[in-house]
Chain A
Amino acid sequence: MAKSQTDNSQLKNALSRSLIFVSGKGGVGKTVVSQAIARALSRQPGKQKGKAKRVLWVTFEDPFRPAGELKEITPSLFELNCEAQTAFEEYTTMKIGIPTLTRILVQNSLVRYLAKAAPGIHELVLLGKVWYERTRWDHVVCDMPSTGYGLAMFQSTANFADLFRGGPIHHDAEAMLETFANGTECSQVIVSLPEEMPLRESLELRDFLTRLFPGNAPALIVNRRFPHDPEDPASGRPDEDLSPLARSPEEYARRRARLESLNLKIWKEAGVRPTELLYIPPSTEPPKADRIPDGIVEKLSSELQRLEVLPS
């Protein structure tokens, strides 16, 4: 193959920003990739001599974690379970400033209903929280909800900035959009698997984000790339005439690698040169309530180190 199909410079660029959004379709490994990014960044030297960078990893409304919980993993790495009700209360306290008035607002049953049910407010409040946090850390790495809902978060911010004029929320939504569009402050990382559906959906996600934030192009990652021979002459050729089932590990490994190369043409044709992350063999540990086994995050974080995509 003449030209390498991968390019790590985009990811390296993305990881140098202070606010990093990691998005993608459900099940592609966003959580593990974003955790590995946060961990790797928290080991980089910070501005203060002898001290590492301070990094916040954010997930949104994870039912397996306490709402709004901020947890210390290492002195330089923290995890936040961002939750709308808590964030809404924090925000109104900040805006209204008078505790009695804030209480009247947030304890009102109708307002609670609207904050939860009215489309837009919920999503806006969640993004507002990470936007606020970005100035307090060297990096904030967000594990975004899967595609549709993740898009809704950015779309809601845009809606408030465009459709609903007046009021501090409108004002803050505009400021948030400005930050998200700013290529020196914020970046988007899209994670995919080398399978048809996630690859296509990632392109849609990329186009959506580029339309919303022109000039701040997302970096793309293929996660769990099956071990393959980059020189395989049959790579990327469809094998429609063969049975859909393989009969041995050798045959499966060969055909799986070729299928992935075939799938990745979807990106190649769209001009995407992604970063490829190796398939880390799965853990055999019994699952713990939505927590990723530590060994996998560690291996993936060393992989990022090896690929030299971390900012110096």
Chain B
Amino acid sequence: MSVQTPVSSRIDHALQNRRILITCGTGGVGKTTVSAALAVRAAQLGRKAVVITIDPAKRLATSLGLGNLGDQATDLSGALNDVLKTKGLPMLPTGGSLHAIMPDTKETFEGFIRSLTPSEAIARRVIRNPIFQIFSREFSGSNEYMAMQRLLGLQREGKFDLIILDTPPSRNTLALLDAPKLLARFFDERLIRWLVLPANKIVSAGMKKALGLLEKLTGGAFMTNLFEFAAALFEVRVQFSANLSKVTELLSERSTAFLLVAAPSRDTAPDAVHFVKSVHAHGFHFEGILVNRRLEHLGLCSDKAPTGTPPHVARAFEVISALQQRESLAMVDLIESIRQSNEMREEGSVPLCLSLPELARDVHSLSDLHEISLALERFNPA
């Protein structure tokens, strides 16, 4: 690709050639909006695109036709064609379509357990166990794991050319990558074996003593439930590991890539380096970084408002000016870290680095999402 190629054509290249794009990022960076806008753009490039979003804002969900829970794919191609028609633009090319899914994670988790267990009786025993209930509700990795489970299912169905997975919100960008490992911890076979096999009746004196002490602390009821939970886990462990390796395999494919969505703050560069390292350490592929919510397009704002400016406007200028200063430093940091870090350059190529502007209001419609997909071009020239 020549140096003169617009940066946006590289994201188009990714949208045309990848089969799975996974967007990661901390809460509040606008991952969901970006993911939806990328799906709109992919549809316009002639792809059968679907965006899976876990927990969208209400206004955004409505604009995606996901007012109610949409565990099945909602077809938005007709609505998008209407938008294009209104704007006097050509309709979606043949083959191009747009879909959205909002999976019900609790439903999926129970379904997942059912798919792992050999009989309905065992499944019910697992699901009714109070420890499992706490686990499914609160375990911080289960949402992430379920998202990937859904991905695996969709990929098998083969109805779509491109799946964009908007990962669940979390403080930690890497939560998704670590989720399988965290879950696998529960399936530590050596330890579960202690809990369930008759062999634990003849365990060492030390082990007996330790379990006795734990029972004294937690009470008998907790221990009984725990043993039952462990017994259930033990029965599904083989299936679970098989499943885990399928997910890992899917994520390692060349046609799957990770896109980091970030805010223009000074944490972004170190976070990005850390993220890329981790993606590579897992044997996955890194697509690039999208810096969202930039304020550069407003034109440089002075922190000194002209005299006579109302005080709230003067203060607003101070804030915008400080945000813009931080943004330009953040971009310098980011470019520098891309230049210096070998990790960033997978197989010698410079990673994609895109920008999108901060919006002055929330996304209300498909038309807005289409406008953001156009901004990908406008804000990322050569």
CA distance A285 to B216 in the complex (A): 51
Given B210, B310, B361, which contacts A238 in the complex, CB threshold below 8 Å?
B361
With A25-B27, A26-B169, A196-B362 known as contacts, the answer to whether A249 contacts B299 (CB < 8 A) is yes
Residues 8-27 of chain A, each 1 if its beta carbon lies under 8 Å from chain B, else 0 = 00000000000000000111
Residues 21-36 of chain B, each 1 if its beta carbon lies under 8 Å from chain A, else 0 = 0000011100000000
Which chain A residues (84-138) contact chain B, with CB distance < 8 Å? 92, 95-96, 101, 104-105, 108-111, 113-114, 116-121, 123
With A26-B171, A104-B210, A109-B191 known as contacts, the answer to whether A281 contacts B319 (CB < 8 A) is yes
CA distance A253 to B319 in the complex (A): 9
Residues 263-289 of chain B, each 1 if its beta carbon lies under 8 Å from chain A, else 0 = 001110010000000000000000000
CA distance A284 to B310 in the complex (A): 26
Residues 59-85 of chain B, each 1 if its beta carbon lies under 8 Å from chain A, else 0 = 100000000000000000000000000
Cβ-based interface call for A39 (8 A): no
Cβ-based interface call for B211 (8 A): yes
With A229-B310, A249-B299 known as contacts, the answer to whether A166 contacts B219 (CB < 8 A) is yes
- List 11 additional contacts besides A196-B57, A227-B315; criterion CB under 8 Å: A92-B213, A121-B218, A149-B140, A160-B222, A164-B218, A228-B312, A239-B360, A249-B317, A252-B295, A259-B362, A281-B318
Given A27, A196, A229, A247, which contacts B58 in the complex, CB threshold below 8 Å?
A196
With A104-B213, A149-B140, A242-B361 known as contacts, the answer to whether A250 contacts B266 (CB < 8 A) is no
Instruction: Tell me the nearest residue of chain B to A30, going by C-beta.
Output: B171
Q: Which residues of A contact B95 (CB under 8 A)?
A: none
Closest-CB distance, B43 to chain A (whole angstroms): 19
Cβ-based interface call for A209 (8 A): no
Is the pair A169, B218 in contact by a Cβ cutoff of 8 Å?
yes
Is the pair A227, B360 in contact by a Cβ cutoff of 8 Å?
no
Report which A residues bind B (CB closer than 8 A). Answer: 25-28, 92, 95-96, 101, 104-105, 108-111, 113-114, 116-121, 123, 145-146, 148-149, 151-152, 155-156, 159-160, 163-170, 193, 195-198, 200, 226-229, 238-240, 242-253, 255-257, 259, 278-279, 281-287
Q: Which residues of B contact A92 (CB under 8 A)?
A: 213, 217
Q: Which residues of A contact B375 (CB under 8 A)?
A: 245
Q: Which residues of A contact B140 (CB under 8 A)?
A: 148-149, 152
Is the pair B319, A279 in contact by a Cβ cutoff of 8 Å?
yes
Cβ-based interface call for B320 (8 A): yes
Cβ-based interface call for B325 (8 A): yes
Greatest chain A CB density within 10 A among B28, B59, B218, B325 is at B218
Is the pair B28, A193 in contact by a Cβ cutoff of 8 Å?
yes
With A152-B138, A245-B359 known as contacts, the answer to whether A226 contacts B217 (CB < 8 A) is no
Is the pair A196, B313 in contact by a Cβ cutoff of 8 Å?
no
Is the pair B191, A110 in contact by a Cβ cutoff of 8 Å?
yes
Q: Which residues of B contact A256 (CB under 8 A)?
A: 316, 360
Is the pair A146, B27 in contact by a Cβ cutoff of 8 Å?
yes
Is the pair B27, A110 in contact by a Cβ cutoff of 8 Å?
no
Is the pair B323, A281 in contact by a Cβ cutoff of 8 Å?
yes
Instruction: Tell me the nearest residue of chain A to B233, going by C-beta.
Output: A117
Report which B residues bind A (CB closer than 8 A). Answer: 26-28, 57-59, 130-131, 134-135, 137-140, 169-171, 185-186, 188, 191, 194-195, 206-207, 209-211, 213-222, 225-226, 265-267, 270, 295, 297-299, 301, 310, 312-323, 325-326, 329, 333, 357-365, 368, 371-372, 375
Is the pair A284, B359 in contact by a Cβ cutoff of 8 Å?
no
CA distance A245 to B140 in the complex (A): 35
With A110-B207, A251-B360, A253-B320 known as contacts, the answer to whether A119 contacts B134 (CB < 8 A) is yes
Q: Which residues of A contact B210 (CB under 8 A)?
A: 104-105, 108, 110-111
Is the pair A244, B319 in contact by a Cβ cutoff of 8 Å?
no
With A27-B26, A156-B138, A240-B364 known as contacts, the answer to whether A253 contacts B317 (CB < 8 A) is yes
Greatest chain A CB density within 10 A among B310, B312, B329, B375 is at B312
Is the pair B361, A240 in contact by a Cβ cutoff of 8 Å?
yes
With A104-B210, A110-B194, A259-B362 known as contacts, the answer to whether A226 contacts B171 (CB < 8 A) is no
Instruction: Tell me the nearest residue of chain B to A193, going by C-beta.
Output: B28
Q: Which residues of A contact B191 (CB under 8 A)?
A: 109-110, 113
CA distance A255 to B310 in the complex (A): 16
Q: Which residues of A contact B358 (CB under 8 A)?
A: 252
With A27-B171, A248-B298, A281-B322 known as contacts, the answer to whether A117 contacts B185 (CB < 8 A) is yes
With A252-B295, A255-B360, A259-B362 known as contacts, the answer to whether A282 contacts B58 (CB < 8 A) is no
Is the pair A118, B364 in contact by a Cβ cutoff of 8 Å?
no
Instruction: Tell me the nearest residue of chain A to B139, going by C-beta.
Output: A119
Is the pair A167, B219 in contact by a Cβ cutoff of 8 Å?
yes
- A-B CB contacts (within 8 Å), total count: 217
CA distance A247 to B360 in the complex (A): 9
Q: Which residues of B contact A25 (CB under 8 A)?
A: 27-28, 169
**Interchain Cβ contacts under 8 Å between A and B, 15 examples:** A104-B206, A110-B207, A111-B211, A155-B137, A156-B138, A163-B130, A193-B28, A196-B58, A197-B57, A238-B361, A250-B313, A251-B360, A253-B317, A281-B319, A282-B322
Given B134, B214, B319, which contacts A111 in the complex, CB threshold below 8 Å?
B214
With A26-B171, A244-B372, A246-B360 known as contacts, the answer to whether A159 contacts B130 (CB < 8 A) is yes
Is the pair B360, A287 in contact by a Cβ cutoff of 8 Å?
no
CA distance A284 to B216 in the complex (A): 53
With A27-B28, A245-B375, A282-B323 known as contacts, the answer to whether A114 contacts B221 (CB < 8 A) is no
Given B219, B221, B265, B333, which contacts A282 in the complex, CB threshold below 8 Å?
B265
Q: Which residues of A contact B221 (CB under 8 A)?
A: 163-166
Closest-CB distance, B19 to chain A (whole angstroms): 29
Greatest chain A CB density within 10 A among B301, B360, B368 is at B360
Instruction: Tell me the nearest residue of chain A to B315, going by C-beta.
Output: A227
Q: Which residues of A contact B299 (CB under 8 A)?
A: 248-249
CA distance A25 to B29 in the complex (A): 13
Instruction: Tell me the nearest residue of chain A to B55, going by C-beta.
Output: A197
Is the pair A167, B222 in contact by a Cβ cutoff of 8 Å?
yes
CA distance A241 to B59 in the complex (A): 15
Q: Which residues of B contact A160 (CB under 8 A)?
A: 218, 222
Instruction: Tell me the nearest residue of chain A to B188, going by C-beta.
Output: A113
Is the pair A249, B301 in contact by a Cβ cutoff of 8 Å?
yes
Instruction: Tell me the nearest residue of chain A to B172, going by C-beta.
Output: A26
With A155-B134, A287-B266 known as contacts, the answer to whether A105 contacts B171 (CB < 8 A) is no
Closest-CB distance, B45 to chain A (whole angstroms): 22
